[in-house]
Structure 1
Amino acid sequence: MIPMADSTLSIEHHTNEPEPSDTLKSFGAVHKAFRKRAGYTQEEYAPLVQYQPGTVASIEQGRRFPPRVFVERAEQVLDAFGALRAAYKHVSREKRLASWFRQWAELEEQAISLYTYENRLVPGLLQTEGHALTLFRERVPTLTDSEVEAKITARMQRQSLFEERPHTAFSFIIEEHVLRRETGGAEVMRGQIEHILEITEPRHVELQVMPMERGVHAGVAGPIQLLETPENEWFAYCEAQLSGQFIVSPKSISVLHMRYAKLRSQALPPRDSRSLLERMRGAL
């Protein structure tokens, strides 16, 4: 599979589903035909493939990318003679434009592993309200007060994952210079560092800092986000100025895994990272 082309839509654009593509709609139509041939309604069929009826509907309408495990289960349940697997190969090659961040946030809610490397700003899952407020108020073009409030609310709600997913393995690697930048002023940044220390204290949340003295490392090409679903499928997400790229290609994900593993070995160990943050907090 080939990773998708960069989206021209904002990564903060909040739509529930990706924009339909011809191959997504084609796969959905083929799947719907086999389901009807087998005599199942969506409600009857959904439990057989262990997905919700709404997910089945979204896939058949071409609004949701079908997970590989869904395709395999559908092949067995519908006795599709390999037709769904063949259609899926064409879907996975599609270069699609979509509001991927919303779908990524939905996957976060189910992830059993979530890895994040950041070299630009504090990851959204770790931001305080004050830190996020500063970022959104400085957004260009300017956001209205109601838009800022809505975005902050959504960002804070995402942080419930740490309590709701105690068995999820969270890993964060953040560049030291990001944590030394006094975003919002010294007081706001002190609170931000305190928040990071608190939220990464549980055993299932790991934090590493990439020291500034490390001149070159495996993450110089940009941020990396990786997650693993309960079905043990891995997805990746990368951001740029005005685009978000959702990656399903196993080959591309393997490369990002290798880079993330190297980053872990190049960053400060978790204990040393916490010690550095404590010293930085004391200096503010």
Structure 2
Amino acid sequence: MTSPEGQEPNAGTAPGEPEPGPEISEGLKIYGAVLKALRLEADLTQEEFGPHVRYSSHYIAKIEQGKRFPPEKLPQRAEVVLGPLAGKVLRAAAKSLRRKPGLASWFQQWAGIEEEAITLCAYECRAIPGLLQPEPYIRAVLERQLPPYTEEEIDRLVAARLARQQLFRDRPHTAFSFIVEQSLLERGIGGDSVTKHLIDHLLEVGRLTNVEIQVMPLRQEDHAGSNGQLYLAETEEHRWFGYTEGHQSSNLIATAGDVSVLLQRYGKLRSQALDCRATVSLLEQLRGAL
């Protein structure tokens, strides 16, 4: 939902995601190179290979570039197409990669989970979720980061974040749920013109049949989000994962009991936020006041 790319800071669903350390980056590049070599040996393009393993060609390209943590099911699915030896090679490479520690590896795993999920949920109290950010808002956020980015870095990060929003097109059967604090809309990052563009974009994305956007009103005596932002994803096997972030840190949550706590909190947040129709009315009201 929140973030980033190869892995580039802030290139994904939320601000503040760390770049991978050199060890994890190199491991991902090696895995990607191995996958690419096996695919080419089978004389398959990314567009031909993707449907066989049930991932988009865009996702396969990211893995081969070392910009996505490989999904656990990839070796098993690739084995059917590329042969038993290819499956063994990819499993060995994946095990070696997952033994490497570091926060960036957790983010890489979340990015992979996110791209395969059948349900994605996000509650944000810091910034609009990256998947919902239009380009003017992305630039406004990145231009205010410290330490500051160069113009070239901002252009690269904007392109990466916009590319992540391909999820809406690649995953038409995924259910997306977003809850954002009203204060994020009234903060006015980048000025009125940026806020107008943001609200128009939220109204447009909210019209997609598989997307629900809810706003948490400024005044809400019962509020289950006091512990901060949270993300949740449900896999095809109906297993749930959670993801949270802090300054220069991130945490993938896989323990069933801990994920259950996040699910309870998110369910309560959905009941406390404005419903989708009331959210549209509020967005239109805020847009008209600018």
TM-score w.r.t. structure 2 length?
A: 0.70
Give the superposition deviation at 1:18.
Answer: 5.5
Distance (whole Å) between structure 2 residues aligned to residue 165 and residue 174 of structure 1: 22
SS at match of 2:251: strand
Out of 95, 99, 102, the residue aligned to residue 60 of structure 1 is 95
**Paired position in structure 1 for 2:55:** none
Change beyond 3 A, Cα 1:128–1:45? closer
Relative distance call for 1:247 and 1:52 in structure 2 (3 A) is farther
Counterparts of residues 117-266 of structure 1 (less than 5 Å)? 117-266=123-272
CA distance in 2, matches of 1:277, 1:147: 32
Question: Using a 3 Å threshold, how does the CA distance of structure 1 residues 231 and 141 change in structure 2: closer, same or farther?
Answer: same
CA 1:44–1:241 in 2, change beyond 3 Å: closer, same or farther?
A: closer
Does the alignment pair 1:108 with 2:125?
Answer: no
Q: Residue 194 of structure 2 aligns to which amino acid in structure 1?
A: V
Instruction: Give the conservation status (yes or no) of the 8 Å contact 1:16–1:102.
Output: no
Q: Which runs of 5+ in 1 are unaligned?
A: 1-8, 21-41, 66-93
1:98 aligned partner = 103
Q: Please, what is the CA RMSD of the aligned residues?
A: 2.9
User: Which residue in 1 is equivalent to 2:32?
Assistant: none
Any residues of structure 2 matched to 1:1-80 within 5 Å, and which?
Answer: 11-14=17-20, 46-47=79-80, 56-61=91-96, 63-64=97-98
Encode CA deviations 1:27-81: one digit per residue, 9 max, x unaligned.
xxxxxxxxxxxxxxx78994499x96675234321x237xxxxxxxxxxxxxxxx
- Greater relative CO, 1 or 2 (CA 8 Å, sep 6+): 1
Map of 2:56 onto structure 1: none
Q: Given the two structures, how large is their TM-score scaled by the length of structure 1?
A: 0.72
Deviation at 1:164, TM superposition (A): 1.4
- 3-state SS of 1:281 partner: helix
Distance 1:137 1:201 in 2: 29
Would the aligned equivalents of 1:18 and 1:64 in 2 still touch at CA under 8 Å? Answer: no
Identity %, equivalent residues:
41
Unaligned runs of 5+ in 2: 1-8, 10-15, 27-74
C-alpha distance in 2, partners of 1:225/1:44?
27
Deviations 1:197-229 (A, max 9, x none): 101111210011111110341111100100011
Task: Please identify the structure whose Cα radius of gyration is greater.
Answer: 1
